[in-house]
Structure 1
Amino acid sequence: MSRRLAAAPAPSVRVRAPGKVNLSLRVGPLDDDGYHPVVSVFQAVALYEEVTATQVAPGAGVSLTVSGPQADRVPTDATNLAWRAAELLARHVGVDPDVALHVTKGVPVAGGMAGGSADAAAALVACDALWDLGVPRAELAALAAELGADVPFCLLGHTAVGTGRGDLLTPAMTRGEFHWAFATFDEGLSTPKVYGAFDDLTAGTAQAAALVDDTPLMQALRAGDAVALGAALHNDLQEPALSLRPALRRTLDVALEAGALGALVSGSGPTVAALARSRQHALAIAATWTAEGVADAVWTTTAPAHGARVVS
Structure 2
Amino acid sequence: MTLSAIPDRVRVRAPGKINLFLEVGAVQPDGYHDVASVYQAVSLFEDLVATPADDFTVRVVGEDGLPVPGVPTDDRNLALRAARLVAREVGYLGGVHLDIRKAVPVAGGMGGGSADAAAALVACDALWGAGLTSPALQELAARLGADVPFALLGGSAVGTGRGDRLSPALARARFDWVVVSDDGGLPTPGVYTELDRLRARNRPDIAPEPTVPDVDPVVLQALRSGSPELLAGALRNDLQDAACALRPDLSATIAAGVAAGAVAALVSGSGPTVALLAADVEAARRLEHDLSAAGRRARHVYGPVTGAKVVTR
The alignment's TM-score, normalised by the length of structure 1, stands at 0.92
Aligned-pair distance for 1:127? 0.4
Q: Which moved more, 1:200-209 or 1:266-275?
A: 200-209
Corresponding position of 1:302: 302
What is the CA deviation profile of residues 136-164 of structure 1, one whole-angstrom value per residue up to 9, with x for unaligned ones? 11011111111111000000000000011
Aligned-pair distance for 1:33? 1.1
Match 1:37 to one of 34, 39, 56: 34
How far apart are the structure 2 equivalents of 1:198 and 1:180? 26
Whether the 8 Å CA contact 1:16–1:50 is kept in 2: the answer is: yes
Equivalences for residues 156-235 of structure 1 within 5 A: 156-203=153-200, 205-207=207-209, 208-212=211-215, 214-235=216-237
- 1:238 counterpart letter in structure 2: Q
What is the CA deviation profile of residues 158-210 of structure 1, one whole-angstrom value per residue up to 9, with x for unaligned ones? 00000111111010011110101001010111212211111122126212353
- 2:214 counterpart letter in structure 1: L
Corresponding position of 1:4: none
Aligned-pair distance for 1:68? 2.5
Q: Which moved more, 1:93-102 or 1:176-185?
A: 93-102
Match 1:54 to one of 35, 51, 60: 51
How far apart are the structure 1 equivalents of 2:30 and 2:138? 22
Aligned partner of residue 206 in structure 1, secondary structure: coil
Q: Which moved more, 1:147-156 or 1:66-75?
A: 66-75
Q: Which moved more, 1:40-49 or 1:201-210?
A: 201-210
Aligned-pair distance for 1:114? 0.7
Aligned partner of residue 300 in structure 2, secondary structure: strand
- 1:240 counterpart letter in structure 2: A
Corresponding position of 1:96: 93
How far apart are the structure 1 equivalents of 2:248 and 2:290? 19
Equivalences for residues 142-153 of structure 1 within 5 A: 142-153=139-150
Aligned-pair distance for 1:52? 0.8
Aligned-pair distance for 1:263? 0.4
What is the CA deviation profile of residues 215-235 of structure 1, one whole-angstrom value per residue up to 9, with x for unaligned ones? 111101011111111121100
Aligned-pair distance for 1:10? 6.2
Corresponding position of 1:72: 68
Aligned-pair distance for 1:211? 2.5
Aligned-pair distance for 1:291? 3.6
Identity of aligned residues (%): 52
Match 2:114 to one of 109, 117, 123: 117
Aligned-pair distance for 1:100? 1.3
Give structure 1 regions of 4+ aligned residues with deviation exceeding 4 angstroms: none
Aligned partner of residue 33 in structure 1, secondary structure: coil
Aligned-pair distance for 1:75? 2.1
Aligned-pair distance for 1:277? 1.5
What is the CA deviation profile of residues 3-48 of structure 1, one whole-angstrom value per residue up to 9, with x for unaligned ones? xxxxxx9611111110000000000000011101000100000111
How far apart are the structure 1 equivalents of 2:81 and 2:138? 15
Q: Structure 2 regions of 5+ residues with no counterpart? A: 1-5
Larger Rg: 1
What is the CA deviation profile of residues 39-78 of structure 1, one whole-angstrom value per residue up to 9, with x for unaligned ones? 010000011111111123xxx1112112323742222222
Aligned partner of residue 33 in structure 2, secondary structure: coil
Whether the 8 Å CA contact 2:7–2:127 is kept in 1: the answer is: no
Whether the 8 Å CA contact 1:87–1:97 is kept in 2: the answer is: no
How far apart are the structure 2 equivalents of 1:275 and 1:243? 22
Whether the 8 Å CA contact 2:154–2:305 is kept in 1: the answer is: yes
Aligned partner of residue 283 in structure 1, secondary structure: helix
How far apart are the structure 1 equivalents of 2:283 and 2:263? 10
Match 1:259 to one of 261, 264, 274: 261
The alignment's TM-score, normalised by the length of structure 2, stands at 0.91
Aligned-pair distance for 1:89? 0.8
Q: How many residues align?
A: 298
Alignment CA distance shift 1:216-1:129 (3 Å): same
Whether the 8 Å CA contact 2:37–2:163 is kept in 1: the answer is: yes
Q: Which moved more, 1:255-264 or 1:124-133?
A: 255-264
Aligned partner of residue 227 in structure 1, secondary structure: helix
Corresponding position of 2:19: 22
Aligned partner of residue 187 in structure 1, secondary structure: coil
Corresponding position of 1:288: 290
How far apart are the structure 1 equivalents of 2:187 and 2:99? 26
Aligned partner of residue 40 in structure 2, secondary structure: strand
Corresponding position of 2:137: 140
How far apart are the structure 1 equivalents of 2:14 and 2:94? 21
Aligned partner of residue 102 in structure 1, secondary structure: strand
How far apart are the structure 2 equivalents of 1:17 and 1:182? 17
Whether the 8 Å CA contact 1:226–1:277 is kept in 2: the answer is: yes
How far apart are the structure 1 equivalents of 2:74 and 2:147? 21
Aligned partner of residue 23 in structure 2, secondary structure: strand
How far apart are the structure 2 equivalents of 1:105 and 1:189? 17
Q: Structure 1 regions of 5+ residues with no counterpart? A: 1-8
Whether the 8 Å CA contact 1:86–1:97 is kept in 2: the answer is: no
